[in-house]
């Protein structure tokens, strides 16, 4: 078991993201989760990511604020406690189009070992 306090979360930078501060809440540490890691992203107004895709599934959960997601010609805005599963290979773009910070959890499996 691993108890990790918020003040002990470590920052990380995600590729092709802008206007965001990411913290790793769980994952990539001894006695941590074996199958996935959990990030906490704080997107400033105008912050976002993409368009891009990853070879692994991910889940977004908006905690506070809102996040606009674009994929396959669709546009949806997620609000507090809305969630979205993004399948492997799905191209998506996200952007905080509001004037408030968007706080979001990101849950992803570990990258495949080469």
- Give the model confidence (pLDDT) of 77-90 as tens digits: 999 999 999 999 99
Does some domain include residue 1? no
Does some domain include residue 18? yes
User: How far apart are alpha carbons 87 and 94 in whole angstroms?
Assistant: 15
Query: What CATH code is carried by the domain that includes residue 97?
Result: 2.60.120.10
Residue 111 has a pLDDT of 85
Residue 10 has a pLDDT of 95
Does some domain include residue 113? no
Percent of residues, the chain, with pLDDT higher than 70: 99
Domain total in the chain: 1
Does some domain include residue 97? yes
Residue 114 has pLDDT above 70, yes or no: no
User: How far apart are alpha carbons 56 and 39 in whole angstroms?
Assistant: 15
Does some domain include residue 114? no
Residue range(s) defining the domain that contains residue 40: 6-108
47-74 pLDDT tens trace = 999 999 999 999 999 999 999 999 999 9
Does some domain include residue 48? yes
Q: Buried b vs exposed e over 16-36: b needs ≥16 C-beta within 10 Å?
A: ebebbebebbbbeeeebeeeb
Task: State the pTM of this model.
Answer: 0.93
User: How far apart are alpha carbons 40 and 81 in whole angstroms?
Assistant: 14
Percent of residues, the chain, with pLDDT higher than 90: 96
The mean pLDDT value of the chain amounts to 96
Q: Measure Cα distances from 95 to 11, 62, 71 in Å.
A: 20, 12, 12
User: How far apart are alpha carbons 79 and 103 in whole angstroms?
Assistant: 10
Residue 112 has a pLDDT of 79
């Amino acid at each position: 078991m691993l108890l990790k306090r918020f003040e002990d979360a470590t920052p990380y930078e995600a590729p092709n993201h802008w206007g965001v501060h990411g913290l790793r809440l769980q994952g990539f540490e001894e006695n941590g989760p074996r199958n996935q890691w959990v990030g906490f992203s704080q997107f400033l107004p105008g912050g976002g990511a993409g368009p891009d895709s990853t070879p692994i599934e991910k889940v977004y959960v908006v905690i506070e604020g809102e996040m606009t997601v674009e994929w396959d010609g669709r546009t949806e805005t997620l609000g507090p406690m809305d969630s979205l599963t993004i399948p492997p290979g799905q191209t998506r773009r996200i952007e905080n189009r509001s004037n408030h910070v968007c706080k979001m959890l990101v849950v992803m499996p570990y990258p495949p070992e080469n």
